Structure formats: structure tokens, C-alpha cells
Structure 1
């Protein structure tokens, strides 16, 4: 009998420890093409405008199992031609991706995902690459819900990012490195899990964030090899189903200012399985 009591108490203590170890779940903003480390059913329309162009894109991701998904990406660009009245416009190439979860540590709020990609040259050659490209990204996200009570004010913060490589499959070699790092702070998480009632109702779905983007061609025959550096302060309104994201992309160096010092970017996204649960079906459980 004593042994049974000891086992029951130990089980209760172990359960309590596990509950404390797993911080509340949270949603991450991702970036302006809707791509982040989370495997999800997601559809987004995004775009932007700067001095020489405006552009829109569509991103669709569909889960095939609890830790994998397929995605497609296509865009449309309108380029202003210097010294000409007419603009050049057309669809970009079709991008395909396979996202697979490598590591998930719920107690630490950490997710690591790999995302091999393939770009097919089906777009308008006036605005798109004419050769197929292949590459991939390594994506991560880290929440801070596991911080001690003395740092509770930082628990709503999150960090996420990716690093990728892409190269031509045919034609002259043309390699591209890219990386993104984002810091965000969820007001909804703050109100729900840190300081109840501290955020007015109208502000609880807001997540301000700051993105740092890097891109650089390593061996392009007609592109600058200087790094392209951009900083994007933005704010997202998001809940379990919808996301609206608005930001200003600021050029940090000469290589990134060719299309203007500032671009305005936006995104409208939806987790479509929240609206139609049947669309969350996974062929490989």
C-alpha cells in the first residue's frame, strides 16, 4: 500500500513537472512569402511596391503528414523600364518545396525544418530566370516561454529564421545565398500567459517584428556579388486562422538600394484547415 501511495505521488509530481516544462503553444509570424519552420496548411497572398516595380505572389502549403508538407509558390511582377513609357510585366517561375520537420523540442519552444526546393522556368522570360534552379533552406524557430520567472517579460518574444542555397541546374553557373533572421513579440502571448489583462482587447492579436534579410550571388555573370542587406520593421495581426502583415523594407547598403531605399510589403494569410477541417486531411499519418 505504501508503495502504491509513493508511485501515485511520484506520478503526480512527474506530470506537474512535464506540464511546467512545456510552455504554452504560440504562432510565429514567418516571412512575407508565408514560409516558416512550422509544417502547416497555409495559403497566403503577398506583395510589395518600390520605386521600379510592384509584385504579388501566391504561396500554398499542404501537409501530407504530421511532420511534412508540400508547397508551391508563384509570383507576378511589373517592372518600370527606365526611359520608356511601357512597363514589362509577367508571371514568375513556379517554385516547388518539400518541408520536413527534423527536430521539435516543445519544452524549449524549438523547431528545426529542412525545405528542399525546385524552381521550374515556366514564367515570363522578361521577368524570370530561364533555367531551372534547385536548392533548399534550413528553417528554425525558438520561443522563450521556458524562461524563468525573473525574465517573464521576455517570454512573448520569439526568434526565427532560415538560411538557404540555390543554384542553376543548367546554363552558366549562378549560385545564390540567402538568409533571414526575425525577432518578434506577441502581445497576445503576453496577455494570455504573462500579464493577464495588461493588453487592451483591440491590440491582443498584434505581433510587432523586425526582419533582417541577406542575399548574395556568388558567381553570377551579370549580377553584383556585393551582399544585398535589408531591414524590415513590420507588424502582424494574427489569430489561429487569419494573418495580416504590413512592413517597410529598408535598404541597408548600395547593393540593396537599386530598386529604391524603401519598399512597402504586405501579406494576407489563412490557415485554411481552420475554416474547412476536411482540408487538413493527411494521406500519410
Structure 2
């Protein structure tokens, strides 16, 4: 179970705080389960470029996972991890009239480079058979976190292309396919370099002040998992819930609403 709070400092700069509570079931009678928080994460994000006419935006960010703030029993690392990231989004609203049906489409993407604050961890122990001391070293790889989405906005279709007279529920939907992938690229002696991740088809229902999303989680290979999972999310638009209060940037006036229904 994950949660995140994001607050604009200015119209272009925001800070977010998030964490995850993990439930691990027992593997067998000898390996008990564990519950606990993962490390606290803080993300600093700055919008470096926007082109409204071509529906393009790019941001740069830095995420910090604060080591030691979570429970090691659920896998939280005792060291910090720093991830500089580039984010982008491109809508297709600038396509010509001959391709008007593609205008509600959009792509988003992000590429980050996760840098652990510690290169390796060595664990010392005693071999139960020989009684001799042992030392096991685990190298912490630098990982390329990358992915993106392809989506089609039914709200955009109705408001900016053509009103097909569809039911109101359909006009609030955004079907999408998301990819979330990780590739170890350095310090990979014990981790290997195989890419893992999931492909996530799903749908978002967009309201005036919130959205609800649901996606399947399909592993891309056996190393990513052997079963299809499921994820759901509730996202509140604080900019729209309270535009002159909690949703307002600390410096500056109210910003453009997040909901497409409140923009149009």
C-alpha cells in the first residue's frame, strides 16, 4: 500500500513525499512473514520546458530514498539511493484534420538512473558445518529505471475533437498501457544485467477533483514474476479541491486545474 503527497512550491517546482507499507506472507514454517514501511522517498521536480501549442512538456527531477527510515525485515535498504530522472509528455492535439481521431492520444515517459549510496554490503557469519567464519558480499547495482505510457483520452475526444453522444461514464475514461522497467547497468557482479518489469494495461476514470485508475501487472519475463497482478489508485487533484488553499503554490497564484473537465 503506497501513498504520496505532492506540493507545488512555485508553478514550475514541486516536492513530493511518499512511502509504501509492505505485507509479506510466510514462505513456509521456517520463514515467517513480515510487515513494515519501506524507506521514505522525497522527489524534487522542476518543469524545464513546456510548449502548449504542441502539447509537450518536460521536467527534471531528483528522487532520494532515505536509507534506514524503513524496516529491513521487508527489504528496506540501510543506505540512501539517489535517482535523477527526466520526465516528458506529448499530446497529439497538433495533428492535422486528416488525423483528428488520433488527437486524443498521448505518450508519456521517464528515464531515471538510480545510484545507491553504498556500492556493496558484506555480511559476516559462521558456517554451521565447519564452524569457520564466512563473508558474503552483495553488490548494489546502479539501475536504469525507464518506462512510459500510451493513452487515449475520451474527455479530450469529446471536448476538442467530436462529441459522439456516448454515455457520460465512457466520456470520463482514459484507456492506457503503461510499461515500468528496470535494467541494472553498473556494479552488476551479483545482480546481473537482465531487464525486469511489467506491462500494465488499464483504464483511468477522470472526475472533476479526483481520478481512479486500475491496471493489470503483466511480468515481461520469469525474473519479473510468474503471475499477473493488479494495482488500483485514487488520485486527488489538490489544485482543484482547494485551489486557493492547500492546492495553491507557496509562491504564486492558483494554477491551471488538473481536471480536463474544469479546463474546458
For Structure 1 versus Structure 2, the TM-score category normalised by the shorter chain is: 0.7 to 0.9
Q: Which residue of 2 aligns with 1:63?
A: 8
Distance 1:140 1:193 in 2: 22
Decide whether aligned partners of structure 1 residues 135 and 163 sit closer, same or farther in structure 2, where only a CA change above 3 A counts: same
Decide whether aligned partners of structure 1 residues 93 and 266 sit closer, same or farther in structure 2, where only a CA change above 3 A counts: same
Paired residues of 1:208 and 1:235 also in contact (CA < 8 A): yes
Distance 1:191 1:265 in 2: 28
Work out which of the residue numbers 40, 57, 66 in structure 2 matches 1:120. Answer: 66
The number of aligned residues is 228
Q: Which residue of 1 aligns with 2:235?
A: 269
CA RMSD for the aligned pairs?
Answer: 1.6
Per-residue CA deviation, residues 152-173 of structure 1 (Å, 9 max, x unaligned), is: 0000001001010111113524
Paired residues of 1:142 and 1:158 also in contact (CA < 8 A): yes
In structure 2, list runs of 5 or more residues that go unmatched.
121-139, 253-264
Per-residue CA deviation, residues 38-65 of structure 1 (Å, 9 max, x unaligned), is: xxxxxxxxxxxxxxxxxx1001110010
Relative contact order, higher structure (CA 8 A, sep 6+): 1
SS of residue paired to 1:116: strand
TM-score (norm 1): 0.76
Q: Which residue of 2 aligns with 1:101?
A: 47
Work out which of the residue numbers 196, 206, 216 in structure 2 matches 1:238. Answer: 206
Deviates further, 209-218 or 66-75: 209-218
Deviation for aligned residue 1:186 = 0.7
Decide whether aligned partners of structure 1 residues 67 and 166 sit closer, same or farther in structure 2, where only a CA change above 3 A counts: same
TM-score (norm 2): 0.82
Paired residues of 2:4 and 2:16 also in contact (CA < 8 A): yes
SS of residue paired to 2:113: strand
Distance 2:194 2:36 in 1: 27
Paired residues of 2:182 and 2:197 also in contact (CA < 8 A): yes
Per-residue CA deviation, residues 57-93 of structure 1 (Å, 9 max, x unaligned), is: 0011100101110011100111223223742111000
Deviates further, 112-121 or 221-230: 221-230
Higher helix share: 1
